[in-house]
Structure 1
Amino acid sequence: MITDNYREDEIQALITLAELEFPIDTPNNITYKTFPSNIDEAQSYFRSFRTDLTSAYKRLQTQSLVEPHKDFWILTPGGKEIAEQVRKARPPIYYWYREYHSAIENSEAFDEFSRRIFGENLGQHDFTDITQLKMMLERVQLDTGSSVLDIGCGNGKIAEYISDMTGAKVTGVDYIPEAIEIARKRTTSKSDRLSFQIGDIEDPVEAGIWFDLVLSIDSMYFSDADILLTAWKKLLKPHGKMAIFYLSLDGKDISAVLEKNSLSYDVYDLSREHWEHMQRKHISAKEMKAQFVSEGNLFVWENLMMESVSDKSPYDPEKTPMRRYLYIINNSLDSIRDQSTLH
């Protein structure tokens, strides 16, 4: 990974200059003000992890990545190329997630909220509740001989739940160091069947390791679907499966990409359940705002509100393009079946 070659302050220095010189409407952005007009706004990208960059610029100068310009620094042509790669690897949401996983670990408000909305606190930052997890597990049929790769595992509680329920060996991969550290500490006594590592979504594990199940719970949005499915397919054993929970805001699904990759699949439409989930989430979040604020976790509450809807009307597919699906995917193009809803 490109970020392995640089210190954290150097990474922040490169991203800061990239944001000032060639800003973009950053994908996967939460709360960060894109197109900053000054250094302070650019460095808000890093939230509470913002650090002093004085010495970083000087080190980057020795690598010919930056050069002095008036009273500050600018990227060299080579520096621009590196900065663009670093920014892609560390979008604003990376720093948001670092704060998020640290915040929810000891949050009583989040624990109560999760039990109300998801049925259990598994550190969810998505829309997958216990009912949907059990549905998925019924369809993939894991046992003590199964191996699972959970891509975008967060704090590892869902991976732990899956292993506890099935006995399967589960490897969790996430690019947030705080999340992986939390997962490792919590599951030390279960290290015979649970492991966690920092990894990239496009290249999560080293070559030569294959799994019975590759699981993606709302993690496909962080890259191109075709790139991810091509990479993840290579991680499957001959009769392995993928389970992908996927939310589409515009109604588009990933069926064409699956067929391009010669992957057969069953698809379960969870859109109605998703709409009702967001309605419940809105009600509970409004009721619990004071609890989140008292913990200093207003930003967590704000995100929960972003993931909810205040509209109290029943789900109507004609009025909202939003769709949510569970794909159970096989390795060969044998059959394609559509299941209309959770059952």
Structure 2
Amino acid sequence: MRTDATDSIDRGDLEALLVDIWKQLLSIEENTIDTDFFASGGHSLAAMLLIARIESSTGISLPLAALVRHSTPRALAAYCLARSETPHIETSLDGTETQAEYLIAYNEPERQTRRSEAYEVYYATAATSAAHAAFCDLVYGANFGQHGMADVAQLDFLIAKMEIGAEDLVLDIGCGYGQIAEYIHDRTGARIVGIDISSSAVARGNERALSSGKPLRFIQMDLQSLSLPEMKFSKTISIDTIYFTNDLQKTLSSIRQHGTETMRLGVFRTFPLRSFTDETWSPHISELGHNLRKLFGGYEAYDFSKEENAHWRKKVEILESLRSESIKEGNENLFQFRYAEARYEAKIEQRRYLFVTD
């Protein structure tokens, strides 16, 4: 990765290149060297694409924070030519790509297929593991077989801020076994429909719903292909699942179309800080924030970053205490699936928010 490429670049040429990249990513015709990236519709994912294109075109590696501080082609070109330091560029777990490259490619079809297969194995295995049940109890405060980051306190906060009640028909995107949906129903009386890509998780959820007689229904479905034309939801929730779409705007538009006129959406979403800084990062520059403003008119973002970083450290500690129990019951692969993720995430500074639309 070259970081000394500015030695041979003329300022005017660099500004012209940046103007062209701005135009490509923002899809705007009226674009000058003083066009502000974020004020013109740019967001965090587009920022990662921009940084990647600058490097591929010029060899210049930049931290994402530089774009926030220098958000016009004129200002960013001046920064590139004036800086002397080599930026710290974070890499993925195996070190083969930058973290930005990893995140950009996160929902490529091949990676989505591998991830879906891994989750199918997870849900088929975790349901019968006593060690995993103990892990969920200790980490989340209740065993719902969950694989996200929302503990019971965050679920209760979501219920309160969304004002979910008995009159609501709720769509739960990425419902897993349906036990979080059941918890929300027990707390509120709401009717809930859940979708998940895992057939084994959905089957277990429907078995539980049938035996309990509760107004819960679970459907195997990809959130990228949402199709429930006979239903209009008054509330929709996505708890650590909105990551799994390769077209966020399209998915959010589909969610909006499946709602009543007054539907509210609640999304738990975690962001690795990457090469942003506390001063330059905000949920409002995220792709999610940008699209929620565009499609839903506005939102409130509630900060759970402190809890998120403690969450991953807690996972590592508890998993290590349950290692031998997991191996004894023949679930070493399940243990490694959770442990490898937790160790990796615990090393990354995270920012977590609950987004609730107006």
Residue among 226, 235, 246 paired with 2:249: 226
The structure-2 alpha-carbon separation of the partners of 1:219 and 1:211, relative to structure 1 and needing over 3 Å to count, comes to: same
Aligned counterparts, 1:1-343, within 5 A: 91-223=113-245, 224-249=247-272, 250=274, 253=286, 254-309=288-343, 321-330=349-358
The structure-2 alpha-carbon separation of the partners of 1:227 and 1:180, relative to structure 1 and needing over 3 Å to count, comes to: same
Q: Is the 8 A contact 1:279 1:310 kept in 2?
A: no
Report the structure, 1 or 2, having the larger helix content.
2
CA offsets 1:127-155 (integer angstroms, 9 cap, x no match): 11000000000111222211000011111
* Aligned-residue offset at 1:104: 1.0
Q: Tell me the distance in 1 between the aligned counterparts of 2:292 and 2:356.
A: 11
Q: Tell me the distance in 2 between the aligned counterparts of 1:310 and 1:201.
A: 26
Q: Tell me the distance in 1 between the aligned counterparts of 2:110 and 2:234.
A: 30
CA offsets 1:201-254 (integer angstroms, 9 cap, x no match): 023232242111111111111112212211111122111111101011246632
Q: What RMSD in Å do the two structures reach over aligned CA positions?
A: 2.6
Amino acid at match of 2:226: P
The structure-2 alpha-carbon separation of the partners of 1:321 and 1:107, relative to structure 1 and needing over 3 Å to count, comes to: closer
Q: Is the 8 A contact 1:282 1:310 kept in 2?
A: no
Q: Tell me the distance in 2 between the aligned counterparts of 1:263 and 1:295.
A: 50
* Aligned-residue offset at 1:87: 5.1
Amino acid at match of 1:155: Y
How many residue pairs match? The answer is 242
Q: Tell me the distance in 1 between the aligned counterparts of 2:199 and 2:348.
A: 36
Q: Tell me the distance in 2 between the aligned counterparts of 1:236 and 1:161.
A: 22
The structure-2 alpha-carbon separation of the partners of 1:310 and 1:177, relative to structure 1 and needing over 3 Å to count, comes to: closer
Q: Tell me the distance in 2 between the aligned counterparts of 1:167 and 1:264.
A: 27
- Tell me which residue corresponds to 2:52: none
Amino acid at match of 1:207: P
Q: Tell me the distance in 2 between the aligned counterparts of 1:190 and 1:235.
A: 27
Structure 1 segments unaligned to the other structure (5+ residues): 1-30, 35-85, 313-318, 331-343
CA offsets 1:22-57 (integer angstroms, 9 cap, x no match): xxxxxxxxx9xx9xxxxxxxxxxxxxxxxxxxxxxx
The structure-2 alpha-carbon separation of the partners of 1:191 and 1:204, relative to structure 1 and needing over 3 Å to count, comes to: farther
Q: Tell me the distance in 2 between the aligned counterparts of 1:192 and 1:292.
A: 33
Q: Tell me the distance in 1 between the aligned counterparts of 2:312 and 2:135.
A: 13
Q: Is the 8 A contact 1:151 1:204 kept in 2?
A: no
Amino acid at match of 1:202: Q
Helix, strand or coil for the counterpart of 2:297?
A: coil
CA offsets 1:141-178 (integer angstroms, 9 cap, x no match): 22221100001111111111111111100001012111
Q: Tell me the distance in 2 between the aligned counterparts of 1:262 and 1:141.
A: 17
Q: Is the 8 A contact 2:173 2:223 kept in 1?
A: yes
Structure 2 segments unaligned to the other structure (5+ residues): 1-92, 97-107, 275-280
Q: Is the 8 A contact 2:309 2:349 kept in 1?
A: no
Compute the TM-score of the two structures, normalised by the length of structure 1. Answer: 0.65
The structure-2 alpha-carbon separation of the partners of 1:309 and 1:175, relative to structure 1 and needing over 3 Å to count, comes to: closer
* Aligned-residue offset at 1:196: 0.7
Sequence identity (%): 27
* Aligned-residue offset at 1:294: 1.7
CA offsets 1:80-104 (integer angstroms, 9 cap, x no match): xxxxxx9569611111111111111
Q: Is the 8 A contact 1:151 1:219 kept in 2?
A: yes
CA offsets 1:168-203 (integer angstroms, 9 cap, x no match): 000010121111111111221344510011112023
* Aligned-residue offset at 1:124: 0.9
Q: Tell me the distance in 2 between the aligned counterparts of 1:311 and 1:185.
A: 33
Q: Tell me the distance in 2 between the aligned counterparts of 1:165 and 1:221.
A: 27
The structure-2 alpha-carbon separation of the partners of 1:91 and 1:192, relative to structure 1 and needing over 3 Å to count, comes to: same
Helix, strand or coil for the counterpart of 1:186?
A: helix
Helix, strand or coil for the counterpart of 1:238?
A: strand
Q: Tell me the distance in 1 between the aligned counterparts of 2:110 and 2:200.
A: 20
CA offsets 1:100-123 (integer angstroms, 9 cap, x no match): 111111110011111111000011
Compute the TM-score of the two structures, normalised by the length of structure 2. Answer: 0.63
Q: Tell me the distance in 1 between the aligned counterparts of 2:109 and 2:164.
A: 38
Return 303-312 or 157-166, whichever deviates more. 303-312
Return 132-141 or 186-195, whichever deviates more. 186-195
Helix, strand or coil for the counterpart of 1:220?
A: coil
